[in-house]
Structure 1
Amino acid sequence: MAKMVNYRTILLKIKNNIATLTINRPQAMNALNTEVLQEIDQALDKISASQDVQVVVVTGAGNKAFVAGADIKEMAAKNAVQGQAFSKLGNEIFTKLSKLKQPVIAAVNGYALGGGLELALSCDIRIASTNVKVGQPEVGLGIIPGFGATQRLSRAIGPAKAKEYILTARNVKVDEALRVGLFNKVVAPEHLLEEAYKMAERIIGNAPLAVQNAKSVINEGAEISLGQAIKLEENTFGLLFATEDQKEGMQAFSKKRKAEFQNR
């Protein structure tokens, strides 16, 4: 049975060990304002505390936009101090998303611009529909990306390409975005969520503690030296031999049966 959590600007559904977080402002192209960000923050706390959720899918309501950016109407009235506070709020929440123990899949539909692309970049895996366009238009508005794109986009596709996209502020079609590594896969719009759930189910079929630790080691390893990262991998590899799921996984393999993991 699905569990629904009610918010004003987002939807949170938990079913079959998958949490689906939908940005639900289709009339505003799912633009991010303070209320949306605060509700995403609340939803992430629920997901983080859940023992049932093994994978998270993030998407946008409707067919036109994943998230078309931050809400310009709200931003236009801000002064320098308020602008910095808005950037800090978004960055804290997107960092929380990126550090969830559960893998996060972005199911990107339509426009993913500005904060929308930054939201997708905070996810572990990105699947796009064929109608997607991405971009960082901020310099055309007299500002720079404020929710992490100057750092995450560069890490995803390299500094030169990130500079091209940010400095030209152009919209990028999905075939180019796939080619440069922004997306893992592109599918028809009608198959987007189906494909995201299929990948989520494939992940869920593996040992949860191993999945969570693999994500953590990859993420943490990117922030430290190669030698330190290899040591982190060794330590985590060893620790997982103390879990019941390691014993179950290897016994199931030896006996040619499906493993029944218990998340411990």
Structure 2
Amino acid sequence: MSEPIRHKTLRHEREGAIATVTLDRPEVLHALDATMFDELVHTFSTLASDEAVRVILLTGSGDRAFAAGADIRGLLETDALSGRQISDRGQQVFAQIERCGKPVIACVNGVALGGGCELALACTLRIASDKARLGLPEVKLGLIPGYGGTQRLTRLIGHGAALRMMLTASIVDAHEALRIGLVEEVVPAAELMTRARQLAETIAVMAPLAISGVLEAVERGEGLPLSEGLRAEADIFGRLCGTADKQEGLTAFLAKRAAVWQGH
């Protein structure tokens, strides 16, 4: 494992092809502030450009919180203009995570509320501890989710279920989150990171260009008519057919050996 690289609000490290980003403001349950946004941007830019990294795990330190949400005190002095700027910034940061080109697995180890839930929604997959609780309760504060929650939650769990959660400020436990499709898996708290790493290792041995191709196809196709989404899929399929990794993958399969991916 590489030596952890520590910032003011988070740290990251790499073991083999898997990087782990850990939010680390335990005194405020990893509440999201401007400094954390800046450090998330820098960290994910670094990991996205590192060819040795195939999968990224994202979690919070300790067992109380993944991220409790936005820094409430920092919102007290906002007006219409500064509030819009804060929302724009959060959306930009989470879009960078969502589109970094590598699978990002949210390891939800405690509460993921407001902006913290929105951060999990921006990840590729979500595994929750059986002690996790998730929600978008912003209407209790006279606000709406502003970091992409109204859009991503609706796309993930459906129109009615998402509206019910947001309009009632519901906070759901891990098993209800699994039932409605908010998370993909629930495991005992003590097994969370082990299980997340197992899933990451399964993904990491696949062809990296193909993995990024799947992510690109899904991202480009969302919201498009089926015919346009299919064209995007065909474009990516064709592009991959011209790669050395495709040739290696098919050759290795026919020879009944493990493929050796080069990423080109």
Offset at residue 5 of structure 1 (A): 2.2
State whether residues 3 and 15 of structure 1, in contact with CA within 8 Å, keep that contact through their aligned partners in structure 2.
no
Offset at residue 260 of structure 1 (A): 1.1
Q: Which portions of structure 1, spanning 4 or more consecutive aligned residues, are displaced by more than 3 angstroms? A: none
Per the alignment, in what secondary structure is the counterpart of residue 85 of structure 1?
helix
Q: State which drifts further: 120-129 or 2-11.
A: 2-11
Match of 2:121 in 1: 121
Match of 1:112 in 2: 112
Cα distance in 2, alignment partners of residues 239 and 81 from structure 1? 43
Offset at residue 3 of structure 1 (A): 4.3
What is the identity, as a one-letter code, of the residue corresponding to 2:171?
N
Per the alignment, in what secondary structure is the counterpart of residue 20 of structure 2?
strand
Match of 2:95 in 1: 95
Cα distance in 2, alignment partners of residues 39 and 64 from structure 1? 21
1:241 matches 2:237: no
What is the identity, as a one-letter code, of the residue corresponding to 2:8?
R
Cα distance in 2, alignment partners of residues 82 and 21 from structure 1? 29
Per the alignment, in what secondary structure is the counterpart of residue 22 of structure 1?
strand
Offset at residue 72 of structure 1 (A): 0.7
List runs of 5+ in structure 1 lacking aligned partners: none
Match of 1:10 in 2: 10
Per the alignment, in what secondary structure is the counterpart of residue 70 of structure 1?
coil
State whether residues 56 and 103 of structure 1, in contact with CA within 8 Å, keep that contact through their aligned partners in structure 2.
yes
Pairing of 1:149-228 with structure 2 (within 5 A): 149-228=149-228
State whether residues 58 and 106 of structure 1, in contact with CA within 8 Å, keep that contact through their aligned partners in structure 2.
yes
What is the identity, as a one-letter code, of the residue corresponding to 2:212?
Q
What is the identity, as a one-letter code, of the residue corresponding to 2:60?
G
Per the alignment, in what secondary structure is the counterpart of residue 101 of structure 2?
coil
What is the identity, as a one-letter code, of the residue corresponding to 1:170?
S
What is the identity, as a one-letter code, of the residue corresponding to 2:95?
T
| TM-score, with length taken from structure 1 | 0.97
Offset at residue 84 of structure 1 (A): 1.1
Match of 1:42 in 2: 42
Measured on the aligned residues, the alpha-carbon RMSD in Å equals 1.0
What is the identity, as a one-letter code, of the residue corresponding to 1:176?
E
The percent of aligned pairs where both chains have the same amino acid is: 39
State whether residues 11 and 23 of structure 1, in contact with CA within 8 Å, keep that contact through their aligned partners in structure 2.
yes
Cα distance in 2, alignment partners of residues 10 and 72 from structure 1? 19
Per the alignment, in what secondary structure is the counterpart of residue 38 of structure 1?
helix
What is the identity, as a one-letter code, of the residue corresponding to 1:190?
A
Offset at residue 29 of structure 1 (A): 0.7
Cα distance in 2, alignment partners of residues 209 and 137 from structure 1? 38
How many residues are aligned here?
264
What is the identity, as a one-letter code, of the residue corresponding to 2:96?
K
Offset at residue 188 of structure 1 (A): 0.7
Match of 1:81 in 2: 81
Match of 2:72 in 1: 72
List runs of 5+ in structure 2 lacking aligned partners: none
